[in-house]
Amino acid sequence: MSDLYAGGEPLAEVVRNEFVESRHHGSVVVLGADGEVAAWAGDVLGAVFPRSSSKPLQAVGMLRAGLDVDGPDLALVAASHRGQAVHVTAVQALLDRTGLTVDDLRCPPDFPLSEDARDAVVRAGHGRERVFMNCSGKHAGMLRTARANGWPLETYLDPAHPLQERLTATVAELAGEPIRGTGVDGCGAPVLAFSLRGLAGSFLRLVHAPEGTQERAVADAMRRYPVLVSGDDAGDDDTRLMRAVPGLLLKGGAEGVAAAAVPGVGAVALKIDDGGMRARLPVLASAFARLGVNLPGRVPVLGGGREVGVVRSVW
């Protein structure tokens, strides 16, 4: 298995007034319900950073390490939330119940991803805060897990911390392959490198896990409370698609990554090489079409405020 990601193939193009003005390359893998590769393009065996698409796997690791949350709180721990009031309130409540405050978070201060929420923050005279950062739910979960075990709180993001060692072992197990590199994610937490093949397989394991398992608990929480996984504003994708497709588990990640699975159907993982987020949905829809699933994946191109084209899959 190659250690380095070699890059992908043409996957999508941007069409404006019937003129192709941009193209996106990348890699994508489709697994059938049996976990075998049904289709692929590009390099699906080289190591990539799945970024926030790894959050459901890390959430499983936290449960295994003693995190005692479920339902909405568990969905929040696996989230890239958009900083809306429902998210900020939930993170603060989770910290309060742990005996911690937002000052204990080690994710960087940020504005909400949601434009409406960001505007509201600015109008209220506030600036960037750690609780607004899209990964604050994950960080609150990490702190609660560390506290439950009596582990140091100040260094919970160190890759050598007992918490991160447990999470790394869990991610490797769920991916079915060794971790081939460790970096620092945008939120400051360790980000683990493995293949798209492993990423798709891990999501399939989550949705196929028996009821009562920690893997299934994460998948069910995310699907039952999708608004906590992302948001319900115009910039949301994960919530909208999980509401639209029964059984779908979906988690996007930065730099053009997405992973998804439907029980009894299969799983998909993809990476857009230039990090462009606009190409993910058309490619994801094309991938699921190979599994017989109709996924809403239309991304319009605007000119003067009206639709003049589309981002479309060429795979």
Q: Tell me the mean pLDDT in the region 217-222.
A: 98
In terms of phi and psi (left: phi > 0; alpha: psi -120 to 50; beta: otherwise), the region of 149 is alpha
- Using an 8 Å Cβ cutoff, are 174 and 28 in contact? no
- What does the pLDDT read at residue 1? 43
- What does the pLDDT read at residue 64? 98
Dist CA 37 CA 201 (whole Å): 10
pLDDT in tens, 116-169: 999 999 999 999 999 999 999 999 999 999 999 999 999 999 999 999 999 999
Query: Which pTM does this prediction carry?
Result: 0.96
pLDDT in tens, 258-301: 999 999 999 999 999 999 999 999 999 999 999 999 999 899 99
In terms of phi and psi (left: phi > 0; alpha: psi -120 to 50; beta: otherwise), the region of 15 is beta
Q: What is the dihedral of CA 14, 15, 20, 22, to 10 degrees?
A: -20
- What does the pLDDT read at residue 305? 95
Question: Looking at the predicted structure, is the pLDDT value of residue 36 above 70?
Answer: yes
Question: Residue 285, Cα to own-chain centre: how many angstroms?
Answer: 17
Dist CA 283 CA 261 (whole Å): 14
Burial of 35 (0-12, 13-18, 19+ CB in 10 A): middle
pLDDT in tens, 51-75: 999 999 999 999 999 999 999 999 9
